[in-house]
Amino acid sequence: MDALLNYVTALGYGQDEHGNFDKFWNGTVFHMVGKDILRFHSIYWPILLMMLDIKLPERLIAHGWFVMKDGKMSKSKGNVIYPEMLVERFGLDPLRYYLMRSLPVGSDGTFTPEDYVARINYELANDLGNLLNRTVAMINKYFGGKVPAYVENVTDFDADLAKVVAENIEEFHKQMNAVDFPRALDAVWNIISRTNKYIDETAPWVLAKEDGDKEHLAAVMAHLAASLRVVAHLIQPFMMTTSNAIMEQLGLSGTFDLENLELSGLPENVTVVSKGTPIFPRLDMDEEIAYIQSQMNAGKPQEKEWNPEEVELKSEKTKSNLTTLTRLKSVSLKLKK
């Protein structure tokens, strides 16, 4: 019960209720807990709050666990994965992204080294990272690093890109309010995928030729930068370092505004960095999968499972200095009258 009360006492309840307690608890409060402690937060905690006449949380969300293909993580199975190792090897943002994208709401998620490395390579390095690299490189090559002014409906593909971006910004907010992080990130990746397709549709390398269309080329570059700006804002709650890196490479600054976000909000007179740096370098799949596997409890199970039949009891030892449960059962006790 003490642990539950820490939610309010840490904010100053009973001490300084006009400080942090009033500030935070009188706002929108919801709890996100692991499914193993749902009973305490759904039964006992509301009872305590009602006894103290404290407002109940608006929502209670229980998330599942990450398990392995062969069941729960266990040292005896040699399949334990430590997040600290993943952060040290791959960085914090990839881990945040994986956890938020791969754990379905209302059920468990399955972790595999193959899936972890694949998501970094295909979704972060290829889809997002390569889009940023190509955009910065083309703006430098075709416009000397200056981002052209955003103009709507210049090419035949601008309107559809704008439509997809607007629809998925709305979907992102809907899923965030539902605390469905995987689907919120799905909406972001819909924008990324559509923007990559937009490059193929508009073929800026063709527009850049001597007999090409410079007006169309300028519109394409502006739409690419604008779309990446939207993506940087949307991923900010999940991957802060990556979000800032995208904005920096685009030459953008300022606060993040998720409420008034739109494709046409690209500022004017923006200059991208002269040479972009990959935000997610590609990984050697086989090498990194092997590394993760080697770190999972040293790559092998414990030699021996714990045996409850061989427990040393300090209060009652046999001549061999070991009391087993089997031997303990054979001990006869004499009660004094």
Residues 280 and 322 in one domain: no
- The total number of structural domains in the chain stands at 3
User: Which two structure tokens, joined as six digits, stand for 137?
Assistant: 């490189």
Instruction: Give yes or no: residues 228 and 317 share one domain.
Output: no
pTM here is: 0.82
Q: If you average pLDDT over residues 95-122, what whole number do you get?
A: 93
> What's the average model confidence in pLDDT over 190-206?
97
Q: Give the range of the structural domain holding residue 325, as residue numbers without chain letter.
A: 311-337
The residue-averaged pLDDT of 307-333 equals 46
- CATH number of the domain residue 117 falls in: 1.10.730.10
Look at residue 299 and tell me whether its pLDDT is greater than 70: no
What is the secondary structure of 85-113 as a DSSP string?
HHHHHH-HHHHHHHHHHHS-TTS-EE--H
Q: Please give the single-letter amino acid code of residue 290.
A: A
In this prediction, residue 297 carries a pLDDT of 62
Q: CA 186, CA 172: separation in Å to the nearest integer?
A: 8
- Percentage of the residues of the chain whose pLDDT score is greater than 90: 60
Domain presence at residue 89: no
- Overall average pLDDT of the 198-209 stretch: 95
Counting residues of the chain whose pLDDT is more than 70, the rounded percentage is: 88
Could you say which of 63, 82, 98 is where a domain stops?
63
The answer to whether the beta carbons of residues 221 and 206 sit under 8 Å apart is: no
Judged against a pLDDT cut of 90, whether residue 79 lies above it is answered with: no
Query: Does one domain contain both 267 and 145?
Result: yes
Cα 105 to Cα 64, 187, 236: the distances in Å are: 7, 16, 21
Q: Quick one: pLDDT at residue 298?
A: 57
| Cβ–Cβ < 8 Å for 242, 123 | no
Q: Which two tokens stand for residue 276?
A: 């972009």
pLDDT band at 310 (very low <50, low <70, confident <90, very high): low
Domain end, chosen from 244, 269, 286, is at 286
Q: What is the pLDDT of residue 69?
A: 84
**Three-state DSSP state, 66:** strand
Q: Is residue 141 part of a domain?
A: yes
322 and 195 co-located in one domain = no
pLDDT value at 160 more than 90: yes
Q: Which residues of 285-316 are buried (b: 16+ CB within 10 A; e: fewer)?
A: eeebbebbeebbbeeebeeeeeeeeeeeeeee
User: Hey, what are 54's tokens?
Assistant: 């404290």
58 within some domain: yes
Overall average pLDDT of the 114-129 stretch: 98
For the residues 71-99, what does the mean pLDDT come to? 89
- Please check whether residues 132 and 198 belong to one and the same domain: yes
| Number of CB atoms found within 10 A of residue 326's CB | 9
Please check whether residue 170 lies inside any domain of the structure.
yes
Are both 132 and 58 inside the same structural domain?
no
Of the candidates 163, 154, 125, 172, the one whose C-alpha atom is nearest the C-alpha of residue 218 is 154
Contact by Cβ (8 Å): 259, 234: no
Confidence class for position 331, pLDDT limits 50, 70, 90? very low
Token pair recorded at residue 11:
């904010």
| pLDDT (mean) for 161-183 | 96
The sign of the dihedral angle between the CA atoms of 312, 314, 315, 316 is positive
The burial of 10, by beta-carbon neighbours within 10 Å (0-12 exposed, 13-18 middle, 19 or more buried), is given as exposed
Please report the pLDDT score of residue 328 as a whole number: 44
How many alpha carbons fall within 13 Å on the CB side of residue 48?
16
For 221, phi then psi, to 5°, come to: -60, -40
Q: Which pLDDT score, from 0 to 100, does residue 163 have?
A: 97
pLDDT at 15: 84
pLDDT at 319 over 50: no
Are residues 158 and 273 both part of a single domain? yes
- In whole angstroms, how large is the CA radius of gyration of the chain? 28
46-75: average pLDDT? 87
Are residues 192 and 266 both part of a single domain?
Answer: yes
Q: HSE of 1 in the Cβ direction (CA atoms, 13 Å)?
A: 6
Res 333 pLDDT > 80:
no
d(CA 151, CA 8): 51
Confidence of residue 315 (pLDDT cuts 50, 70, 90): very low
Q: Do 171 and 265 have their domain in common?
A: yes
> Looking at 7-11, 123-127, 284-288, which range is the least confident one?
7-11
Supply the pLDDT for residue 174: 97
Query: Does 285 score more than 50 pLDDT?
Result: yes
Q: Which two tokens stand for residue 37?
A: 């402690």
Residue 120 reports pLDDT greater than 80: yes
In a domain, 178, yes or no: yes
Instruction: Classify residue 137: in a domain, yes or no.
Output: yes
Model confidence band, residue 309 (pLDDT cutoffs 50, 70, 90): low
Contact 273, 249 (CB under 8 A): yes
106 vs 169, more confident: 169
In this structure, is residue 267 part of a structural domain?
A: yes
Q: What are phi and psi of 278, to 5 degrees?
A: -55, 125
If asked whether residues 240 and 275 sit together in one domain, one would say: yes
**Residues 42 and 153 grouped into a single domain:** no
Task: Identify the three-state secondary structure at position 239.
Answer: coil
d(CA 77, CA 183): 32
Encode pLDDT of 217-245 as tens digits: 999 999 999 999 999 999 999 999 999 99
Q: Which pLDDT score is estimated for 219?
A: 97
CB 145 within 8 A of CB 136: no
With bands split at pLDDT 50, 70 and 90, how would you rate the model's confidence at 76? confident
Q: Which residue has the higher pLDDT, 191 or 321?
A: 191
Hey, how many other C-beta atoms are within 10 angstroms of the C-beta on 90? 20
Tell whether 271 is covered by a domain: yes
Residues 123 and 225 in one domain: yes
Q: What pLDDT does residue 302 have?
A: 47
